[in-house]
């Protein structure tokens, strides 16, 4: 189905510049933008509109605000969101295991697992802020030597960091909190801290 649309001069110039720079057909670009954005589920758009209210906006403005806010969240496809998180946190040796997205409360969490000293981490995002919980399991160590818990807690207490560190019979956890996703530490930083804790407790990481 073909439709005629009217673009502002500024929007048209922006689109032309992008197309010229990357060798893309103008009609294909505009068609892709419209089609991709309108693939959002109607229920999601309506829920987002109802949650935010958007004041005294006209219906058309409310629809566009809802669509653009959803687009800004990055929830275009499952893969693009996963890749965005991996790139931003520099977590290239990790992959998405599970996730939950609540558009009503604007709350979401993502569980990533990997092969490094941080075996898994959970990213939590909400209007109140963002957090990462990095985990290394120690159940096998504790079953062999119960005193390892005290050694790990002592090692953790000597680490100079602004992050919270917790040690129990199952895991060593490093908890990083920030006001927004962009201010969270990279996973490499948390890996370094986890390494220091385990090595200071006398744990041979080459055998883990």
Predicted local confidence at residue 115, as pLDDT: 87
Distance, in Å, from the CA atom of 21 to the CA atom of 163, rounded to the nearest integer, reads 44
Does pLDDT of 43 surpass 80? no
- Residue 69's pLDDT band, with cuts at 50, 70 and 90, is low
Query: Would you say the C-alpha torsion 177, 181, 182, 188 has a positive or negative sign?
Result: positive
Q: What is the three-class DSSP state of 116?
A: coil
- The predicted pLDDT at position 190 comes to 97
Q: Which neighbouring-strand residues pair with 110? A: 99, 123
Average pLDDT, the chain: 85
Q: For residue 24, what pLDDT band results from cuts at 50, 70 and 90?
A: confident
CB 19 within 8 A of CB 46: no
What domains appear along the chain, each with residue ranges and CATH number? Answer: 9-72 (no CATH), 78-207 (3.30.1460)
* Chain segment 76-133, per-residue pLDDT in tens: 445 567 888 999 999 999 998 888 877 667 788 999 999 889 999 999 998 889 999 9
| Three-class SS of 37-97 | HCCCCHHHHHHHHHHHCCCCCCHHHHHHHHHHHHHHCCCCCHHHHHHHHHHHHCCCCEEEE
Across residues 193-206, what is the average pLDDT? 90
Average pLDDT for 30-43: 75
Of 111, 90, 114, 118, nearest to 186 (Cα)?
90
- pTM higher than 0.85, yes or no? no
Q: How many angstroms separate the CA atoms of 168 and 91, rounded?
A: 25
Tokens of 161: 């960091």
């Amino acid at each position: 189905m073909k439709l005629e649309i009217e673009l502002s001069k500024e929007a048209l110039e922006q689109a032309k510049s992008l197309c010229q720079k990357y060798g893309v057909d103008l009609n294909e670009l505009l068609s892709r933008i419209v089609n991709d954005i309108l693939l959002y589920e109607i229920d999601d758009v309506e829920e987002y509109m109802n949650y935010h209210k958007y004041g005294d906006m006209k219906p058309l403005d409310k629809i566009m605000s809802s669509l653009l806010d959803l687009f800004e969240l990055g929830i275009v496809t499952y893969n693009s969101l996963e890749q965005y998180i991996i790139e931003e946190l520099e977590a290239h040796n990790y992959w998405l295991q599970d996730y939950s997205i609540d558009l009503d409360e604007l709350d979401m969490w993502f569980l990533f697992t990997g092969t490094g000293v941080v075996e898994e981490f959970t990213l939590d995002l909400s209007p109140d802020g963002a957090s990462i919980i990095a985990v290394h399991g120690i159940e096998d160590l504790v079953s062999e030597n119960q005193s390892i818990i005290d050694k790990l807690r002592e090692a953790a207490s000597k680490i100079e960091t602004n992050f919270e560190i917790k040690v129990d019979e199952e895991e060593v956890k490093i908890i990083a909190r920030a006001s927004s996703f962009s201010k969270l530490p990279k996973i490499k930083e948390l890996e370094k801290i986890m390494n220091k804790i385990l090595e200071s407790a006398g744990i041979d990481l080459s055998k883990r």
